[in-house]
Amino acid sequence: MLPVSAALALLLDCAVTGPAGLYQYVRAFRNYAASFQLEQREIDDKTKNPVVDDGIVTISALRIQPSSSVPDGAAASSAAEGAASHAVDAAAAAAEVEPAAKRQRTAADSSGTPAAHAAAAAAGWLGPGMSAMAPDVACYLCQLSSIPGKFNPKKAAELGVPRGPMLGELQRGIAVTIANGRVIQPHEVMETAATPGACLLLVDCPSLAYLPGLQRQQQLQALQQEAAQQQQQQQQQQQQQQQQQSEAVGAAGATQAKGSSSSTGDTSQAAPAKKFVVIHLGPTDITSSEPYTAWVSGFGPAVQHLMVSSDSQRSPTVLRAAVLQAQLNAIEPEVFSLQGFQALAAQQQQQQDTAERAGAEQQMQQQQQQQPNVLAAGSGCRFTLAPLKYQGLSLESVTAAPDVQQVQAEVHDSRRTALLQLLESYKADKAQAQQQPTPPQLQGIGRRAAELTLLGTCSACPSNHRNVSAYYLDLFDRGGLLMDCGEHAHSTSTTQRAA
């Protein structure tokens, strides 16, 4: 009898496939999850597809490399940003004014604005720490197996198929050979045609530098052609059905004059259409750009597209964390920013003068009606591929977004006398501290030199909500450092980054 932990370890053997850098990623968290076997496969030129084929689903990993002509411009853009930041710091030091390390925390940083990020991304900038060497990304093509039609045992008996295992194989879509040597195909014993398995494509495009690789990928080109051909076939079938219906109506009118109610229309059902779904992972500035939308349009109108991006989320993943962040932002906006809820705050600001506000589900449904095949998926959005009766988009788990302005207004409620007194005392102490001279060790340090993020409680005493104490030092283009990593540090970091 094995212990429970040992038994679970035997059940948790798995394999993970990913782009270059997977080994380093697994090595980083392996010490925290060492109780199960984990096979690692990095995608390279020698990878053979499909990487998964179990008879139910086949998964192919597509390696996408960035264009070699873009990183130079990206590096120049990043270098220009760094030069501008250092120039501001040097000018401040020469004028003997307040150093940038203290002044720029309250001033706007032009290099961090959405417009600057959009311009840099359009030029191929991959983000902090990625301008020197652009990594490969992986896209995944998942194909579900076809679902056989309704089995007709009478047809099988007429064709000479004996009772036993052969009937089960035919129902599973496997051809069988009977005693006289004849091969019986599954479609010969089915009342209805088989339903093609759904096709799911997961596209990762962190920068426009990867778009040429997506356009050159042969399997993606074949997928676009297959979707376009199916769209043409559906249109032809619809035209044929309309023509048959019109002919049937004319024949029915002729026979009705003779006192007959018969009809000569063709009652055969059209073959089920294959479902195509594409999930796009990438910043909104990339997925909404003209070159990317032009590539997406190549799939045709019959393909369902789900745009997934952290910077376009309207509903938070963790509702309680969003409320706490909004409350803390009302107390100290410089320390507790609304970085993860900028899209939500901007949307609610636009709707401030509107009497009725539609919920997250209604907004998604309205967007889906305007663009039936393109949808910005929010947190909790679920798309079911199988079984067929549940196939489609489900918004039941979408979290309702909190009213940021209302939450912050409740913090400054006049009935909270003790809190308001503490806030007034804090503001006075803060104003006095800002008048103090900057320590010599911090003079000349720019805004993008370093940034310290406190994760969790940041103390030795656990609480009911979080009991992790961790610190992330962001060095921007030079990387970062995670210190004193405790339990659930990854979860709190994800919540803070809204990724």
Strand ranges (E), 370-464: 374-376, 382-384, 392-394, 451-456
Average pLDDT over residues 100-105: 40
**Contacts for 99 with CB less than 8 Å, ≥ 6 apart:** 89, 92, 93, 438, 442, 443, 444, 445
How large a percentage of the chain has pLDDT more than 90? 13
Structure confidence by residue, pLDDT tens digits, 295-314:
999 998 889 999 888 766 66
Average of per-residue pLDDT values in the chain:
74
Phi, psi of 385 (to 5 degrees): -95, -40
Residue 100: per-residue pLDDT: 41
Residue 457: per-residue pLDDT: 56
Residue 237: pLDDT above 80?
Answer: no
Structure confidence by residue, pLDDT tens digits, 332-344:
888 787 766 665 6
Residue 85: pLDDT above 50?
Answer: no
Distance CA 98, CA 24 (A): 42
Distance CA 71, CA 287 (A): 19
- Of residues 334 and 497, the one with the higher pLDDT is 334
Average pLDDT over residues 246-271: 56
Residue 143: per-residue pLDDT: 93
Residue 31: per-residue pLDDT: 72
What residue type is assigned to position 468 of the chain?
Answer: V
With tokens 């409620």, the residue in question is 413
Structure confidence by residue, pLDDT tens digits, 33-84:
767 788 888 888 888 889 988 888 999 999 999 986 543 444 434 443 444 3
Residue 357: pLDDT above 80?
Answer: no
- C-alpha separations of 220 from 226, 278, 300, 302, 328 in Å: 10, 11, 13, 16, 46
Radius of gyration of the chain (CA): 30
Distance CA 75, CA 448 (A): 16
pLDDT band at 113; cut points 50, 70, 90: low
Residue 290: per-residue pLDDT: 92
Q: Return the structure tokens found at 276.
A: 């195509």
Residue 1: pLDDT above 70?
Answer: no
Distance CA 250, CA 441 (A): 92
pTM given for the model: 0.64
Residue 462: per-residue pLDDT: 54
- Of residues 396 and 100, the one with the higher pLDDT is 396
pLDDT band at 177; cut points 50, 70, 90: very high
**Contacts for 299 with CB less than 8 Å, ≥ 6 apart:** 223, 224, 227, 228, 276, 278, 305
Give exposure, 136-165, as e/b (b: 16+ Cβ within 10 Å): bbbbbbbbbbbebbebeeeebeeeebeeee
* Torsion, CA 89, CA 94, CA 98, CA 102, rounded to 10: 20
Residue 287: pLDDT above 80?
Answer: yes
Supply angle C-alpha 177, 194, 188, rounded to 5: 35
Residue 499: pLDDT above 50?
Answer: no
